[in-house]
């Protein structure tokens, strides 16, 4: 039987919601085990954090391990229930860590500890209120002067998400200035201030990169497996001797998601999104790729039971 070249992609911070992963956890032993491993590693009840209206869920240092735990638990359940396997892996920002776990590059227990530290450092890098992020939405955004106007205002491009969406980041006054200039030049552009506590993927995050790299030095990785995982920072597949530098620099670098999608489109015959909310499949639709989104057991059954 011919092997279908399959890719799986994972959304990042912002995809969280109360109740995420609960149905998989309640009905699948492997998913439940993932939550237990994370709880033990972090000294935190991850089921309570993810399944209830928990005040910590939107605090970066908890959001990051919560989303990672949910995504890997969902993947474990899909493997058990449907024999799901993938050859290519990618994730958006934080989601890149789920991709690295799924590919066997980082042990899951290590990964939840790593992303909690990543969240703590990112939150501490800039005092709250000093930085901001905003999403720019307009068709064919690459045909506008968004990059020039943003950079002239002192802000930076954080995420190249799709043909119709880019996210900018930086000091609050620079993001506001860029937003105003862009709105003036492009009245049809929708600009949405994002509810974030820090200017992620901007040069303001660079101050934490050395500490994060030193922290990574405490762990062992199967770097050779990273060649099947896309790098947000580079836009293409990781090279094993560069993957640590890539994930360190991803913190302050732009997320090259448009390039990631184009690469996957070229190598995979089918792509699935696995995560708490449908995020990345919308971006893929802008390059005419249909990506089924698995966000709960119901969507998993709809996707895989129909296919089989």
Please give the full DSSP string across 97-109, using - where no structure is assigned: HHHHHHTTSS-HH
- Which CATH number describes the domain made up of 6-125+204-307? 3.40.366.10
The pLDDT assigned to 307 comes to 54
Q: What's the CA gap between 256 and 252, in Å, rounded?
A: 12
Entry pTM: 0.96
Among residues of the chain, what percentage have pLDDT more than 90?
94
Say if residues 133 and 157 touch (Cβ distance below 8 Å).
no
pLDDT of residue 1 exceeding 80: no
User: Percent of the chain scored above 70 by pLDDT?
Assistant: 98
Active site (annotated) includes residue 93: yes
Alpha carbon distance 140, 285 (integer Å): 13
pLDDT of residue 116: 97
* Structure confidence at residue 305 (pLDDT): 84
Tell me if residue 54 is catalytic. Answer: no
Whether the pLDDT of residue 308 is over 60: the answer is no
For residues 81 and 1, give the distance between their C-alpha atoms in angstroms, rounded to a whole number: 20
pLDDT in tens, 207-252: 999 999 999 999 999 999 999 999 999 999 999 999 999 999 999 9
**Domain extents for the chain?**
6-125+204-307, 131-196
- Tokens 């390039």 locate to 259
What is the per-residue pLDDT for 262? 97
Q: Is 289 helix (H, G, I), strand (E, B) or coil?
A: coil
Alpha-carbon distances of 119 from 114, 178, 198, 251, rounded to whole Å? 9, 27, 10, 10
According to the model, what pLDDT value does residue 156 have? 98
Indicate the average pLDDT of the chain: 96
What average pLDDT does range 40-54 have in this prediction? Answer: 97
Catalytic residue among 92, 162, 169, 201: 201
- What digits encode the pLDDT tens for the residues 199-208? 999 999 999 9
Q: How many helices (H) and strands (E) does the chain have?
A: 13, 8
| Whole-number Å distance between alpha carbons of 286 and 281 | 9
Widest Cα–Cα separation across the chain: 58
The pLDDT tens digits for 110-121 are: 999 999 999 999
**Residues 199, 213, 236, 134: what is their CA dihedral angle, to the nearest 10 degrees?**
0
**119-144 confidence digits (pLDDT tens):** 999 999 998 889 999 999 999 999 99
Please state, in angstroms and rounded to a whole number, the distance separating the CA atoms of residues 202 and 168: 8
Check: CB of residue 279 under 8 Å from CB of residue 92. Answer: yes
Q: What is the pLDDT of residue 2?
A: 59
Q: State the average pLDDT over residues 55-74.
A: 95
Check if the beta carbon of residue 56 is closer than 8 Å to that of residue 64: no
Assigned token pair, 308: 């089989």
What's the CA gap between 102 and 179, in Å, rounded?
A: 37
Do 57 and 19 meet the contact criterion of CB atoms below 8 Å apart?
no
CATH architecture of 131-196: 2-Layer Sandwich (3.30)
Q: Which of 93, 226, 252, 254 is catalytic?
A: 93
Strand partners, 230: 237
């Amino acid at each position: 039987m011919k092997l279908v070249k399959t890719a799986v992609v994972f959304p990042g911070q912002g995809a969280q919601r109360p109740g995420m992963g609960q149905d998989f956890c309640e009905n699948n032993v492997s998913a439940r085990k993932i939550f237990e491993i994370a709880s033990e590693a972090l000294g935190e009840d991850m089921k309570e954090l993810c399944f209830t209206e928990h005040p910590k869920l939107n605090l970066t240092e908890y959001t990051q391990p919560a989303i990672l735990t949910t995504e890997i638990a969902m993947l474990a359940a899909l493997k058990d229930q449907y024999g799901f396997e993938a050859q290519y892996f990618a994730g958006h920002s934080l989601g890149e860590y789920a991709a690295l776990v799924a590919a066997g590059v980082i042990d899951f227990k290590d990964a939840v500890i790593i992303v909690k530290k990543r969240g703590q450092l990112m939150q501490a890098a800039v005092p709250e209120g000093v930085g901001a992020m905003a999403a720019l939405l307009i068709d064919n955004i690459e045909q506008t002067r968004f990059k020039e106007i943003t950079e002239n205002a002192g802000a930076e491009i954080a995420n190249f998400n799709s043909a119709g969406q880019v996210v900018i980041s930086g000091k609050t006054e620079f993001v506001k200035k860029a937003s105003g200039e862009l709105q003036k030049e492009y009245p049809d552009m929708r600009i949405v201030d994002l509810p974030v506590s820090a200017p992620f993927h901007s040069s303001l995050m660079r101050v934490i990169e050395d500490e994060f790299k030193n922290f990574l030095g405490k762990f062992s990785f199967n770097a050779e497996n990273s060649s099947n995982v896309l790098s947000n920072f580079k836009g293409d597949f990781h090279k094993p001797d560069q993957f640590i530098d890539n994930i360190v620099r991803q913190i302050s670098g732009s997320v090259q998601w448009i390039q990631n999608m184009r690469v996957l489109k070229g190598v995979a015959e089918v792509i699935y999104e696995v995560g708490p909310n449908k995020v990345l499949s919308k971006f893929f639709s802008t390059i005419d790729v249909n990506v089924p989104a698995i966000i709960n057991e119901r969507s998993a059954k709809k996707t895989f039971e129909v296919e089989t």
